Amino acid sequence: MRIAIPTNDGTSISEHFGRSAAFLIFETEDRQIKGRSTRTNGAHHAQGACDHHSTESKPHSHSGIVAALEGCEVVICAGMGSRAAEALKAAGVTQIVVTMPGPAEEAVSAFLAGKLTRKTESFCACRR
């Protein structure tokens, strides 16, 4: 299974999925991390570009992000707009887990062990 995590520094979960610089892609097998790579987020969102958070927000395509995450089944992130979530699910991402920012590898290991703490507030965490 491939698990994607948005990142800005190459090691931790970024605060918002669409505004991340890149995605860490973890290859897993038998509940173990077997490999890791990085894919650039070429469809970087501007602040306020998700959903209805800004009066200037306009519908936009998530095709660049979907293409960057081709082959991934799970996304673990700290926040994501509902339109991005819909686009990912339509492209075959079976699970989107929203958790707190922190070390990406620890989040993947916790997910694989069934111990990842999920956020309880709304799906999108980008209201700043």
Give pLDDT tens digits for 39-54.
998 765 554 444 444 4
How do residues 11-42 score in pLDDT, each as one tens digit?
999 988 888 999 999 999 999 999 999 999 87
Decide if 125 is inside a domain. Answer: no
What is the CATH classification number for the domain harbouring 85?
A: 3.30.420.130
Looking at the predicted structure, is the pLDDT value of residue 58 above 80? no
Closest by Cα among 111, 31, 30, 38 to 74:
111
Decide if 73 is inside a domain. Answer: yes
Helices and strands: H and E segment counts in the chain: 3, 5
**Which residue(s) pair with 75 in the sheet?**
4, 96
Q: What percent of the chain has pLDDT over 90?
A: 54
Total domain count, the chain: 1
pLDDT at 118: 84
Looking at the predicted structure, is the pLDDT value of residue 61 above 60? yes
* Strand residue runs (E) in 54-94: 74-77
Range of the domain at 107: 2-112
Q: What backbone phi and psi angles, to 5 degrees, belong to 2? A: -105, 130
Residues 82, 68: contact at Cβ < 8 Å? no
Residues 33, 27: contact at Cβ < 8 Å? yes
Q: Mean pLDDT throughout 46-72?
A: 65
Question: Mean of the per-residue pLDDT values for the chain?
Answer: 83
Tokens read off for 3: 């698990």
